[in-house]
Amino acid sequence: ARWRGLRALVGLGASLAIVVTFIVPAILEGRSPVAVALFGSLAVMVVTITLAHGLGPKALAAMLGTAAALCLPLVLADVAVDLAHITGFASEDVTFLRAAADDISVRGLLLAGILIAALGVLDDLTVSQASTVMALRGANPGLGVGQLFRRGMSVGHDHIVATVNTLVLAYVGASLPVLLIFSLADTSFGMAINSEVVASQVVATLVGSMGLIAAVPISTGLAAILARGFEPDDVGENAHAH
């Protein structure tokens, strides 16, 4: 990816810096983990997308789509955690953290983790959809907003399937030691799925997947509207960059 790949690596460093210097200290100071994670995620999104793709209709559509799609996982996670009676104390790390800093909201920490995890896949999906629409606009300037949206969504359907699979496998990989323990203990599926350590991952996967599904039409629609506001030459150059 040449210079764009180098800028993406710089963005990765900036993302980690935001997590280490802002999100973690703010949570340890007793601030709301959800609010901190939301503002931190938006900052990460702006920095990484701007560095990798610059400022233009594609980047703007991706940013707006990501920001809008982030709200859905946050609301759904809040409801799902209550319905599933997840406390957040399934991990020994959380128990130790609670003992060392008892003013931290464990439930808020759980929601913040789900939000940040969803962001990593959301920005990839929204940039891809915006790139697709801009490439269509550059290749065929006669396409209207509706046509750009429909053709972009045909690609978006494939993105949804592939990205949801990626999200599920990421959570499975993180929970692999737990799955091995359940297998050695000959734990039934019903008992395993109702243990908090598994249930929390299931909730995170479902919530994140719903956010991904919502992000596709949102980012595609925004990109289609913005694309018609620019000349084809302004949106066609380097438009398709996953």
74-90 per-position pLDDT tens digit:
888 888 888 888 877 76
> For the segment 45-101, what is each residue's pLDDT rounded down to a tens digit?
898 888 877 778 888 888 888 888 888 888 888 888 888 888 777 667 777 776 777
Give burial (CB, 10 Å; 0-12/13-18/19+) of 187.
middle
* pTM across the whole model: 0.77
Of all residues in the chain, what percent carry a pLDDT higher than 70?
92
| Length in residues, the chain | 242
Band (239; pLDDT cuts 50, 70, 90): very low
Region 207-220 average pLDDT: 87
- Would you state the structure tokens that stand for residue 70, as one six-digit string? 């982030």
Of 133, 160, 131, residue with least CA distance to 146: 133
pLDDT score, position 241: 44
To the nearest 10 degrees (0 to 180), the angle between helices 33-53 and 106-139 is 20
Band (141; pLDDT cuts 50, 70, 90): confident
Residue of higher predicted confidence among 16 and 185: 16
**Distance between CA atoms of 171 and 155, rounded to whole angstroms?**
25
pLDDT score, position 234: 59
Band (17; pLDDT cuts 50, 70, 90): very high
